[in-house]
Amino acid sequence: FCYLMAADEASIALIENMEEFTEATASSLTVVDFTAAWCSPCMRILPVFVGLSVEFEGKMKFAKVDVDIADDVHQHVGIKKLPVFKVYKDGQELDEVQGANADELREMVIKASAL
């Protein structure tokens, strides 16, 4: 994994291939941001995602998949539009939020933190 280091020191794993995706979602509760550099809604909601990673640090992991870099993951998961946020645990998808809706994303993360 590579790590995105934000100014606030939150680390978000950057998943670049299927092997890393499988490893990241295999056991720990993980919130994954499916994004792309050209996606303006993705860039607008990124600070919210980073903020949640700080707020919920130690309770769950946060990861980011650039669908243009990790095309194998993109195809496996079947992403149709961006951004998409998904919660995984034990290799299973538990929840999803489509679009750059900060309130829905926060609600999903709060719900997941109770698991």
Question: Which active-site residues does the annotation give?
Answer: 39, 42
CA distances from 45 to 41, 49, 99, 105 (A): 6, 7, 9, 9
CA 58 – CA 43 distance, rounded (Å): 25
CA angle, residues 8, 13, 14, in degrees to nearest 5:
115
What is the per-residue burial (b if ≥16 Cβ within 10 Å, else e) of 28-44? ebbbbbbbbeebeebee
